[in-house]
Amino acid sequence: MRPSTERPGGGRQVTIVEVGPRDGLQNEKRLVSTGQKLKLIAMLADCGFARIEATAFVSPKWVPQMADHDAVMRGAARRPGLVLSALVPNEQGARAAIAAGAQELAVFTSASETFSRRNTNCTIEEGLARFVPVIALAAEHGLPVRGYVSCAVDCPYEGPMQPGAAAKVVARLRDLGCAEIAVADTIGKATPDRVHAMVLAVLEEAEAERLAGHFHDTGGLALANVDAAWDLGLRVFDSSVGGLGGCPYAPGAAGNLRSGALVGHFASKGIETGIDQALLASLEDTLEATVFSEQ
């Protein structure tokens, strides 16, 4: 699952993880049907995305949009080369996700103690303890686990974060056995220089091949922040079709980086994404009609 930095002959490539069906839709006020979600996942796979975060096995009480997680994961079409992942908060969620056919699990914590308490009702340490049985269970089933570090640059409650805060949590996730760790600019206030400083600190704890970048475009600097991370060796980045969504527990966070913008950005630099740019543009142009309107 880990992408190469260079192709034979010198051509560069990047892996784009599509998080729209989960991170994008979870913040939608209108309820999206299971059928619509399955249609969206299939269309994204048609565009060439090899990694799609399909749903979250979280409590419907807190994220009503993800209440149909079991049906979505079981119903999502499987195809060669496609990995469907699910966000899970604990062992119970992990067991349900694996039973439904998840091919990768994702866990989430924060570099901010305040955000962790408000988002998951536990401290960072308590949250990390919950991941131990999740990662052990995933290992039993031969599944990789991705760890998210939210508020890696800024927190809506604590303000700017010191680079070492993210690095400390990355080190813990590394030691727990996460195959990949995504550092997230959860509220979209990061700047390239601060991303550079954060990633440099994180690289002291984990090699670039083990890291991913998750940048929101709230402040219009997501692509510049991607470049800052790319320059330091990161080769996996998240995006959301049509720019859908953002964290529902982070004020001002709306504005995930649009997949079409990220694909186009890399294409302009001659960096291979494996995504059909024209097909993705068509999907984004007609997202409302094709996905959010019942046929």
DSSP one-letter string for 138-184: HHHTT--EEEEEETSSEETTTEEPPHHHHHHHHHHHHHHT-SEEEEE
Tokens 């991705």 -> residue = 146
Decide: 190 and 227 in contact? Cβ < 8 Å.
no
- 3-state SS, 256-268, equals ECEHHHHHHHHHH
CB atoms under 10 Å from CB of 22, counted, come to: 26
> Which secondary structure element, helix H or strand E, spans residue 84, and what is its range?
strand 83-87
Active site includes 122?
A: no
* Widest Cα–Cα separation across the chain: 51
Structure tokens at 225: 């922040």
User: Is 228 strand, coil or helix?
Assistant: helix
Dihedral angle of Cα 4, 8, 11, 15, to the nearest 10 degrees: -20
Side chain identity, residue 108: F
Dihedral angle of Cα 136, 235, 188, 285, to the nearest 10 degrees: -110
Decide: 91 and 130 in contact? Cβ < 8 Å.
yes
Tokens 């969620």 -> residue = 93
Q: Which residues are catalytic?
A: 247
